[in-house]
């Protein structure tokens, strides 16, 4: 019996190597999703009428099974990480776009009026007023998107060894080593909790201006 963290050689990575790979496959799509969501959300705030259709599209994208994406994407990207990451990025939109829209809309109207009256142009107003005030809502969205992405990466094993820690589940079956499955599930869980914790910390650092529980006026 080999050790808990000794992995079969067909996984082609050490345990820590898999953890790194898993994080990369999970976080890059969320980052890409955020980069796409920011301008899309701003368009939705600016032109209210496009928000419902945008929401519809992101929801439909989210409803498409990853397997279906893989079938199409393998033609373009092969059995690669990219094939796994593209659907994950698209899934993240369903959380991130509404989070950013709500965040930007949560800026009080008198704050916006004050900014306008003081001579902020639209770009400056977006970058210096709306976006910073939307940070709590954006990070709330990022937390959901990140944790869900970390768990979803595992399906990459379906296209052959692209599921990072998820690949251990396959090997657990093949080699009848249930400890591998336990390890995979636990590690993914821990990664999710840690990533969430990091985001909470980031929010605390970015928003010293938010009322804290326990700290009165």
Write out the residues near another protein by the rule CB under 8 A: 108, 110-111, 113-121, 124, 129, 132-133, 135, 207-211, 217
In whole angstroms, give the CA distance from residue 118 to residue 200: 33
CB of 161 to another protein, least distance (A): 45
Q: Which CB atom, from 60 or from 113, has the smaller least distance to another protein?
A: 113
**Helix segments in the chain, DSSP class H:** 15-46, 51-63, 66-77, 81-105, 109-117, 122-125, 131-152, 167-174, 178-206
CB of 34 to another protein, least distance (A): 19
In whole angstroms, give the CA distance from residue 50 to residue 40: 10
Q: Which CB atom, from 18 or from 129, has the smaller least distance to another protein?
A: 129
Q: Which CB atom, from 176 or from 217, has the smaller least distance to another protein?
A: 217
Residue corresponding to tokens 């050490």: 14
Q: Which CB atom, from 112 or from 179, has the smaller least distance to another protein?
A: 112
CB of 204 to another protein, least distance (A): 14
CB of 12 to another protein, least distance (A): 46
3-state helix, strand, coil in the chain (%, to 5): 80, 0, 20
């Amino acid at each position: 019996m080999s050790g808990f963290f000794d992995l079969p050689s067909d996984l082609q990575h050490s345990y820590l190597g898999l953890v790194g790979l898993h994080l990369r496959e999970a976080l890059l799509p969320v980052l890409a999703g955020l980069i796409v969501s920011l301008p899309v959300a701003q368009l939705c705030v600016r032109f209210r009428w496009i928000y419902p259709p945008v929401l519809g599209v992101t929801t439909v994208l989210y409803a498409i099974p990853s397997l279906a994406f893989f079938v199409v994407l393998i033609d373009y990207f092969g059995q690669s990480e990219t094939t796994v990451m593209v659907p994950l990025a698209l899934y993240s939109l369903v959380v991130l776009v509404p989070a950013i829209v709500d965040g930007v809309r949560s800026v009080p109207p008198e704050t916006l009026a004050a900014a306008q009256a003081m001579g902020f142009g639209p770009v400056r107003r977006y970058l210096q007023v709306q976006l910073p005030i939307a940070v709590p809502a954006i990070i709330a969205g990022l937390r959901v998107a990140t944790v869900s992405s970390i768990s979803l990466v595992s399906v990459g094993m379906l296209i052959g060894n692209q599921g990072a820690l998820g690949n251990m589940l396959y090997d657990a079956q093949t080699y009848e080593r249930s400890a591998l499955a336990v390890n995979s599930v636990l590690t993914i869980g821990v990664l999710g909790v840690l990533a969430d914790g990091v985001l909470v910390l980031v929010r605390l650092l970015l928003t010293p201006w938010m009322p804290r529980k326990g700290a009165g006026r």
